[in-house]
Structure 1
Amino acid sequence: MTLRQSRPTTIPAGEALRLDALDRLDILDSVPEPQFDRIVELAAQYFDTPGALITFLDHKRQWVKAAYGMAHPEVPRNESYCTHTIAQDNVLVIQDAACDPRTRDHVGALGTEQARFYAGAPLVTPDGFKVGALCVLDTRPRDFGHKDERALTLLATLVMDELALRQATDRLGRLALHDSLTGLPNRLQFRQLLGQALTHAQHAGERLVLGLLDLDRFKLVNDTLGHAAGDHLLQLAAERLRHVTSTGDIVARMGGDEFTVLLADVTAAGDAERVAERICRAFQEPFVLEGHEVYVPCSLGLSGGEPATHDVATLLRHADQAMYRAKRTGGGYAVFNAQLDDLPVQDVELLAALHHAIPRGELELHFQPVVDAGTTSVVGHEALLRWRRPSGLVPPTDFIALAETAGLIVPIGRWVLGKAADAVRRGVLKRVSINVSGLELQQPDYVPALARVLADTGIHPHSLVLELTESTLLDPHRLTTVLEDIAQLGVAVALDDFGTGYSSLTALASLPIQLLKIDRSFIAPLEARGPAGARAFKALRGMVMVADAYGLPTVAEGVETSVQAELLREVGCTYLQGYLFGRPAPLEWPGSGDDREIGRPQSGPVAAVACT
């Protein structure tokens, strides 16, 4: 099939408009269609001619849509009889092409002696442009009366009616599968496209990620600026989504202010999140509506990612759950996480509030002293995180595990590190220990971030202790490099809650750990009468002996009575920590002003905490 040739730049204005009208019909180079084949057959039989054609005239060619009875090659426009037809308003009759000056030079262009007779009626669009012709052909000259011309004109009108019906059908099809406002695929078509993409991804073992996006302040725009502005916003949002996604991705409107993005070309786990970040950044820019700058951020949920294993319904449900989690936590994007998205409602609400705890100034650090077991002089402090919401203080047991699950422990841990180091920088504390999550240590930039804090504050590395739980060391080989890099900085590492986890003696020998903290659960039974107290005493003595064997000092946590303290001195514990020596409390700086505070200032008397 001959491809349509490009138009030169110098086309007369009238011809350019005619060619635009032809383009709008979307008929050139289309496949045969029975309704047009029936018309040419009817024309040939009615006029008793061996052939009939429906042709359309492009810039440089005559293209045949339907033909009956005779050869119908595509020919250059300057060799086409129909070119003369569209140059006049009425039916063109050429009784003998061999004698007619308009056609005698190219008689036989449609085949030797095939087209001696020609009668053609122009195909006229509703706005008056002649785009082609319906013609009948004979191999011999013949007459063609007024009655015949009238009949051919009616058949040409029938061709145009069929074209109008074809366009209407196409429009209805597009309306059925496309969103009329944005031009994007609608919900129905997107589900079809998603199903096809999912089948392909499953067979090819490829990754496929579905994103579900919701505009966060769309209702406010509708209510304040009106529905016309809301419609304009949806169109601008669609354009913005198309702009920030790849050509191979599929963007659709699901209805209302909800859009979907199908990322089919995802080769690595982080690819989809990079696209999500790009989308969210794009929606942080203002939209201009009726001369007003309007900020309409988005909430985006992602599902999938691994080589495709889910069905369409599951992918959509997971994306929806992730999107609502993103919305509840203040916008941006979220990746589906079964642990998070199956949380009870109260935990979801708590997680949403936790996202804003740092910017709202709700987090506090309380500090508890650590004393020398022999002299009870303060040798350092442990920084303990507290969350003070408007409704009251939230216990760490209620939010630390939740922060770990959601990954929020990473920014929270950086905040704690910065605040604790600043307390040492200002001379309020001599040495401080902070709790560090295993998830924080898995971040590739953890050690560089730690080094930056030391450099920015200028504190001595020995003044900082990182406390890790035994569960963090379940896979010590994976953390060896990180812990060695921390040791290279001169920062000490303590093993917290010793005795409650599963760390091996090999880990104590091979990892750069400088301190063991014995869990409070071993301290409380010391004062028990009979065998229980004796067993607790022996267990503690054994732990201290193990620590001594590895050259590690020990800290006993949860010391509440003088009897416990005396027994811990007897087993050889190095340091003690507990209510007996001071409860966790916020620090209060001399003077006033927010720039001189750690956490929140106390409204009452300062807790009795020695700061050395």
Structure 2
Amino acid sequence: MSQSTYQSPMPVNEMDRLEALADLDLDYTDLQKSFSELTKLAAKVAGTDISMINLIDMYTQWTVSNFGLDLDQMPREDSVCQHTIMQDEGFEVNDLSADDKFKDKFYVTDAPNLKYYYGLPLQTSNGSNIGALCVLDTQKKDITPEKSEMLKIIADEIVNRLRAIKAIQKLKVDLKESNEKQKRVAHDIRGPVGGIIGLARIIAEQGDENTLDEVLEFITMIQKSGHSILELADEILSADNPKKNVKLGADEFNQLLLKEKLEKLYTPQAINKQINFKVITNAETEVIPFSKNKLLQIIGNLVSNSMKFTPISGSVTVRMEIKLREHNNDLHIFVEDTGVGMDDAKKAEILSGDCKSTDGTCGENGYGFGLALVKHLVDGLKGSMNITSVQGQGTTFEIVLPQGKS
């Protein structure tokens, strides 16, 4: 894939735009079914062979739904939609092969040899363009004002549906937590309370026949049962007993599921740059649930950044583990690379949240907001971020996120 000779465009509200996308907390591997009919409708309205819904983060264009072209992702700097998110209205390219910005792109020079592009920004209520709805074809097309208006309605519906997906997920989580708490309280307290009632009945039935020693024994047993109720109450509020058959909630990952997601999302990028990419879990804690809130955004930005600064044949490794605490657990995420490394000044700049942009090892355009966004998201989750690095040898990012016990 050839490298661009121009500087990729950057919205003036880029940090706000990235925050708006991160707030949706989307799983890019799990949206195709939610939007397939809208994607197909867009192609039918435009009269094109291809349509896509693309969300654009700091480094990558994620195709969350497509019609007519099997594509999951591409580097942001290679996309046409990076120009669409700069617009308030539609962005049209009549002949991609005649435009210096796109004529050398793989989707123009090789199959499907695209020629025509028309895109509309996916704009949130705060004015952030988080991605684009686009239609494409191998032939010139005519997008009339009427067609453009219908496509705009579809683009607005996509944004509304993204917001609805987030709201539904929250409702599912709230309902599940409420139902599980009620069931657990009823189940766990039934035993000790039943024991107390049984002991009291025995004392009452035996009446004067009870000796002092027997009464004291019964009282001791009642005391133990009462104490067990208090222990159960504490457990319901704070304890987390890991089990191999833990069922994950709608707002939860464990290390095994997160590994699967990361491998699916970022292995294509690693293959493209000929980098060895691995995700390693901790066998002792790999099934313990933890909050998935913003995790894909945090780890994804770190992985993409590491791949950007790691040369061909290098490696990027994600390691995960959970440190078990008395009242809460800590999720530790390490993103290690064998890249160019950084000096102390650069580390301090990143940790201050004021990171500047530099270019990658293969000429990738640099984006200064990716690590700043990570720092912002980690701080918002009451976590911490640490960086160790040796210039010329590589960098390790460590993220620690506190987790409540379910």
TM-score (norm. length: structure 2): 0.46
Larger radius of gyration: 1
Question: When the two structures are superposed, what TM-score results if normalisation uses the length of structure 1?
Answer: 0.31
